Structures are given as structure tokens and as C-alpha cells.
Amino acid sequence: MSEEKKSKPGVLQLVMVGLLVVAAFAIGSMWTELRMLKGQGGVMPQGDQVAPGELPEEGITELSEDQWQEVLSNPAFSMGEPEAAVVIVEFTDYQCPFCKRHIDETAGQIYENYVREGKVKYIYRDLPLPFHANAHLASQAARCAGDQGKYLEYHDKLFETQASWSEEEAAGLFKTYAGGLGLDQGQFDSCLDEEKYKQAVDDDLALAAKVEATGTPSFFINGKSLVGAQPFAAFEIMIEEALGE
């Protein structure tokens, strides 16, 4: 009888096993989250800079001419001189923190130094990552705003308010932003509710996969890739090289 009692697991043993299971689950969850964050963009650590004449360690791959022409066609939005010598195509995710970092720290410098000067044409495409629940609808909303000539203003508003809508039921907020920007509310709401641009965003997702743009933000500069929220110096090197060709 005593031997039988000894063979049964005690309460302490059961508690220990339970704690081990919980710990294993927590470690697995953290590892998954880390992998997701890595998938959002090959970003350089805050404060790192690219030295003159150097490029990020990720290296550069180049699209074929057919791929490049496909990337250029039917974008979500474009700005700058139509015949500019250099074209930058950005694949973006409105819910991606690294995309926001690019907007906050680098995009303005590219615009001031190159787009406004007529040297660069800048094209936006969508790449809402699957683990960002509201990103696909955000891409659709920006395109709906584009129907009324306010794509860029709405694009900036989404990044400005990213923390507000990322974890909420986003459709109502997206409609509120449209009203705040002076858009025709009925037209915008219908566009969003009817998912007018769902297929267009899905087509961009398929195109991104085709050209192996898997992280956000991803850029192609005259067909050459640059991945992640890189500092302005990285763009400057590639733009100046393209201008000199």
C-alpha cells in the first residue's frame, strides 16, 4: 500500500509540470513575436548610419526589366516628375512600426532633396502583412481617399495615428479620418464598405510575393532593392548612383 502511494505524483510535482508547460508556451510565444517583428523589415538599429560609399549589409538584388515594368504599373499612388531619371517604389504596411519610422525619419528628406527637385518619382504600393489585422483595410481606405484627391494626406494621417487604430475596430476610425480631411463622407464610406479596392490591394500582395518583397518597408530604386527602415544616407547612395548612370 505504501509503495502504491509513493508511485503516484504528488501535488508539488503536478504544480511543477504545470509551470514548465506555461513557461514553454510563453517562450514559444515570444519567439513567434520576434520572428514576426523580423518579418516587418530589415531595419538598422536606431542611430546607426551608413558611411559614404557603403550600402547596408542586406545587399542589393535587381529586378528583371519585365518585373520592373510590372512594379511600375497601376500603383496605389505616385508623385513627382513623371519623367524623372530615378523612380522609387515603396511597398508599405500602414500598421508596420518600421514603415512609420521611415515616414517619420527619412521620407521627408527624400522628398525635399529629390522628389521636389524633379529628380525622383515616388510610387506607393501596398503590402499589408497577414498578422496586422487592420493593415489591409487601411490600404483600402487610403485608396478610397485617393478617389477624392487626398491619398497622400490620408496616408500621412494613418501613420500619424497608427497607435490609435492598430488594436481597435478600425473601420469607424477610418471613416472619421475621412471626415476630418474634408472628404465626401458618403462616397468614402461606400467605397470602404463595398471593399472597392480589396482586389487591388490583393493584387499588390501577389506582386510583392512575385518580386520577393516579403518585409516592410521594401523599396525598389530603378529596379534595385533596399529593404527596411534605412537611414537617408542609404537612399542617397543609391539615388546618386542611379542619377550618374
pLDDT band at 10 (very low <50, low <70, confident <90, very high): low
Closest CA to 107 of 244, 197, 229: 229
Quick one: what percent of the chain has pLDDT higher than 70? 76
What pLDDT, in 10s, does the model give residues 159-199? 999 999 998 889 999 999 999 999 999 999 999 999 999 99
pLDDT band at 13 (very low <50, low <70, confident <90, very high): low
Question: What is the arithmetic mean of pLDDT over 51-55?
Answer: 41
Can you tell me the distance from the alpha carbon of 171 to that of 95, in angstroms, rounded to the nearest whole number? Answer: 14
Q: Any idea which architecture 49-243 has in CATH?
A: 3-Layer(aba) Sandwich (3.40)
For the chain, the structural domain boundaries read 2-38, 49-243
Query: What does pTM read for this prediction?
Result: 0.77
Question: What is the arithmetic mean of pLDDT over 30-47?
Answer: 37
- The residues, any chain, with a CB within 8 Å of residue 140's CB and separated by 6 or more, are 191, 192, 195, 196, 197, 198, 201
